[in-house]
Amino acid sequence: MSTQSENRSANERKIENAATFKVYPYRRMVQFGFLLLTIWIGIEFIVWVKQLESGLSPTLSRPPGVEVFLPLSALISLKYWLLTGVFNLIHPSGLVIFMIVLATGVLLKKGFCSWVCPFGLLSEYLAKIHIVLFDRIRKIPGWLDYPLRSLKYLLLLFFGGSILFGMNVLRLEQFINSPYNKVADIKMLQFFANMSDVTLWTLVILVLLSILIPYFWCRYLCPYGALLGMISWFSPLKIHRNAESCIDCDKCTNVCPAGIQVHKANAVFSDECNACLECVDACPVKDTLYLSVTKKQWKLSRKAYLFILIGLFVLGTAMAKISGFWQNNISTKEYQYYIKRMNEPVYNHNRGAVPDYEGKSDQSRK
């Protein structure tokens, strides 16, 4: 009897001593910071394209950060760089950002999804609408959840596989230097600015599905999330649970947006864990749930995680700027030439093929 009460009071002491620092508000700040940055880049890019379209000489410079929306072009550039040693300067910042994101996956698991990605932030707020409508998160049954989760890996295989296994150096080089790739960012803007009914309804359906089934896009469809999930599986950093001090309160599991049974795991290996650290914030017992490389060694505090994540983006971007791998090498004169011909076949994607293009036709525009 006395041993039981001693244990209880020991646990109560631990609970009282539980860290008061919560990383959640900082994660939100980082998410909104990246969202504002994305909006700023978007506005700057729209103004720049509008000035080009109206025949004016742009008063703004093209924001290189817009290349974050060209992950397939970045993957092609990465493969080309690895095979040839040439870091192409058509969309250099796209490749730099892509490599920073891959580095976060290796070092910090899927932190990009829960700390940086604006679609991750949007999904969280759509999940809040779900809770308002249905009182709590209603999970879909496992028999449906597992096959749906494989969809994002199939999409990754479809897009990534054709680049990794289907493009040799010549095809990579042709694509990188093609007129289509050079204006892919402008094409993307025009695609959303002149949205077809099909695209509009697809977006509306995705939003509705994300309200009905929380994190629908992230959990089932996002190929970027699939790539990071695979990489993060090999990340040495994991959420660890100390079963000896755990009081089985299930708070960690209840707050996990990925639906992971954290209270039963000794270490979270799931590819769905997006390192949001909500479970660590929720755990009431000190040193029971934590990020670390091994069960007892190489613990990483939530503050350190925050600084390393931001540091990777700041340092990576700064190094790229200093070393000249940030701004692309396409001149305003070239862009002025391209913008008048955007509807010609050579500026269309054509499933990666480059019709009527032999790598010569636009050389004279420089």
Looking at the Cβ atoms of 78 and 239, the one nearer to ligand SF4 is 239
Work out the angle at residue 311's Cα, subtended by the Cα atoms of residues 80 and 77, and round it to the nearest 5 degrees: 10
Residue linked to tokens 């900082």: 26
Q: Quick one: CA torsion of 233, 92, 80, 162, rounded to 10 degrees?
A: 60
Looking at the Cβ atoms of 76 and 282, the one nearer to ligand SF4 is 282
Q: Which element (helix H / strand E) includes 188?
A: helix 184-193
Query: How far apart are alpha carbons 278 and 95 in whole angstroms?
Result: 31
Q: How far is the CB of 102 from ligand SF4 (least distance, A)?
A: 19
Looking at the Cβ atoms of 79 and 286, the one nearer to ligand SF4 is 286
Looking at the Cβ atoms of 101 and 289, the one nearer to ligand SF4 is 289
Q: How far is the CB of 270 from ligand SF4 (least distance, A)?
A: 7
Q: How far is the CB of 260 from ligand SF4 (least distance, A)?
A: 4
The CA distances from residue 31 to 35, 43, 83, 363, in Å, are: 6, 18, 35, 41
Looking at the Cβ atoms of 66 and 277, the one nearer to ligand SF4 is 277
Q: How far is the CB of 114 from ligand SF4 (least distance, A)?
A: 7
Are the beta carbons of 357 and 174 closer than 8 angstroms?
yes
Burial 12-25 (b: 16+ CB within 10 A, else e): eebeeeeeeeebee
Q: What amino acid occupies position 115?
A: W
Q: How far is the CB of 304 from ligand SF4 (least distance, A)?
A: 15
Q: How far is the CB of 21 from ligand SF4 (least distance, A)?
A: 15
Q: How far is the CB of 104 from ligand SF4 (least distance, A)?
A: 14
Looking at the Cβ atoms of 24 and 325, the one nearer to ligand SF4 is 24
Chain centre to alpha carbon of residue 74: 13
Chain centre to alpha carbon of residue 266: 27
Looking at the Cβ atoms of 249 and 346, the one nearer to ligand SF4 is 249
Positions in the binding site for ligand SF4 (CB under 6 A): 239, 241, 246-252, 255-258, 260, 262-263, 268, 273-279, 282-283, 285, 288-289
Q: Under DSSP, is residue 238 helix (H, G, I), strand (E, B) or coil?
A: strand
- The token pair that represents 145 in the structure block: 């959840």
Looking at the Cβ atoms of 278 and 362, the one nearer to ligand SF4 is 278
Residue 168 has φ and ψ, to the nearest 5°, of -85, 180
Residue 250 has φ and ψ, to the nearest 5°, of 65, 10
Nearest to 13 by CA among 5, 24, 21, 22: 5
Q: How far is the CB of 155 from ligand SF4 (least distance, A)?
A: 21
Q: How far is the CB of 243 from ligand SF4 (least distance, A)?
A: 8
Looking at the Cβ atoms of 285 and 312, the one nearer to ligand SF4 is 285
Nearest to 299 by CA among 239, 233, 232, 234: 239
- The token pair that represents 357 in the structure block: 């293009």
Q: How far is the CB of 274 from ligand SF4 (least distance, A)?
A: 5
Looking at the Cβ atoms of 165 and 234, the one nearer to ligand SF4 is 234
- The token pair that represents 105 in the structure block: 């996956």
Task: Show Cβ contacts of residue 235 under 8 Å, excluding neighbours closer than 6 positions.
Answer: 105, 106, 107, 108, 109
